[in-house]
Homo-oligomer: A and B are copies of this chain.
């Protein structure tokens, strides 16, 4: 399999002609005037890349690459704006060198070299960032530290159901190594195939499941982090009250405080019982109330995905006036029929009409949803090549604020996309639900103009980000901050915490070489260029 240098995933997994035909037919029915001519990605060899500005010291040459394709494929993540810039042959900031360390000592050696030379280092897992997290968008040379060779499960503790795992392992390879033990991390972000454990930890990733143990934060027992100031390793503990949690400082640090090379993670048995159901509603408001009641019931569904009418129509082909709630329960220990029945009783109280699936169907439906979920980024790329603006953004807020946030965000997206693109469809689904609030995830589909797609999307994104932050949401629930979310993150983050974080960075990364511009300005105290 060949990783695409310009778009999502693997070249061999690209959308088929038939898939494209369906997508284009569906879109052109809505947008008869749009120009769906496909634009091909440029040949990497045809692009004019600047020469590397730094020399790799001899001891690191064996793990360093300055090949054009390596530099290009590590230059940015996989956001819509990244893919479009690649398709346009728009070579932006590039790493000068890509290094692929084989162990912690080599990670430390890279950090030592870069700290000494004041060269920026961008830690890189699967490269699936959609927020500019791996793009060397700063002055001066850059080394991208690709952790892909640190890809092993080193130890499994079946008694405590935990494993010691290297940070650079991709999702499928991790699960392959756990399967013989009958265990699973059960953490399935949409990027699962092309993102790494270290990346999940560094960005506080959210898994596929709707409630309970789904965020990587809660699946973390301990971490090993190589910083320019030394290695920090916490002890494996199921819980502790010994001061502020050291792990929680590194969770979400997005490569700015150190490089996560290992973690002990909490595992689960593979589920044996599964039940799913779909519930349609005539009123979105009542559908939201039903979803909230389930989130507050203590039933802990594995899936509790409320699709609004537009999302239900686009992604499930369902025509409803109030949306569809997709419910699922799973357990490795006991049947989940009663839990599903109780959840459906709650939806019935709110006017929902349920269709349940049998256990076999349930596994099938779950697999089919998961596979379509995993196909989405490939489809986005196919449409981007055809001048469509296709992108998502996400947030979380408390239930009391959801109606006003949702109205404001939807209006902002619709208004901005219509202004810059002429037309737009805006969809919403909940990816996660908590007792105190949902994590809504929005999709925007609009006809763009080739050559202006990035600017068109950026205008929409600025507008929705403003609405999110003004209406009590977080600028990101699980996509991370990176460089793209900085203005709104800075607004959301208390100043005193920003100062504390910068101070912590100044001792862990005294030369300020780690991922400058992410979370903190490159120019601040303790960061490059200060």
Residues of A within 8 A of B (CB): 157, 159-162, 203-206, 215, 217, 221, 225, 227, 229-246, 248-254, 257-258, 266, 268-269, 292, 296-300, 331-334, 338, 342, 396-400, 432, 434-439, 472-481, 485, 489, 492-497, 499-504, 506-508, 519
Asked whether B396 lies within 8 Å of A161 as measured between CB atoms, the reply is no
Closest B residue to A253 by CB, please name it: B244
Across the interface, do B237 and A243 meet the contact criterion of CB distance under 8 Å? no
CA distance A397 to B519 in the complex (A): 33
Q: How many copies does the complex hold?
A: 2
Contact B233 A244 (CB under 8 A): no
- The answer to whether A489 and B242 touch across the interface, beta carbons within 8 angstroms, is yes
Chain B neighbourhood of A334, CB < 8 A: 297-299, 338, 342
Check B249–A244 contact: CB distance below 8 A.
Answer: yes
Task: Contact check, A481 vs B235: say whether CB atoms are below 8 A apart.
Answer: no
Please, which residue of chain B has its CB at the minimum distance from the CB of A246? B497
Known contacts: A243-B501, A342-B334. The answer to whether A162 contacts B398 by CB under 8 A is: yes
Contact across chains for A396 and B481 when beta carbons are under 8 A apart? no
Distance (Å) between the CB of A13 and the closest chain B CB? 27
User: Across the interface, do B436 and A333 meet the contact criterion of CB distance under 8 Å?
Assistant: no
* Complex contacts, A481 vs chain B, CB 8 Å: 242-243
Q: How many Å lie between the Cα of A510 and that of B175 in the bound state?
A: 47
Interchain CB contact (< 8 A) of A248 among B240, B244, B434: B244
Q: Are A254 and B246 in contact (CB under 8 A)?
A: no
State whether B436 touches A162 (Cβ < 8 A). Answer: yes
* Contacting pair A299 B333 (CB below 8 A): yes
CA distance A231 to B250 in the complex (A): 24
- Contact B506–A439 (Cβ < 8 Å): no
Q: Is the CB of A243 within 8 A of B342?
A: no
Q: Are B494 and A159 in contact (CB under 8 A)?
A: no
Q: What 10 A-B pairs are tightest by C-beta distance, nearest first?
A: A238-B437, A238-B434, A232-B496, A248-B248, A500-B504, A232-B494, A503-B503, A246-B497, A240-B474, A204-B241
Given the known interface contacts A229-B499, A334-B342, the answer about A493 and B242 at a Cβ–Cβ threshold of 8 Å is yes
- The reply to whether A472 and B432 form a contact with Cβ atoms under 8 Å apart is no
In the bound complex, do residue B332 and residue A161 qualify as a contact, i.e. CB atoms below 8 Å apart?
Answer: no
Find out whether the CB atom of A332 lies under 8 angstroms from the CB atom of B298: yes
Contact (Cβ within 8 A) B252 A241: yes
Closest residue of chain B to A244, judged by CB? B252
Q: Among B203, B434, B507, point to the contact of A499 (Cβ < 8 A).
A: B507
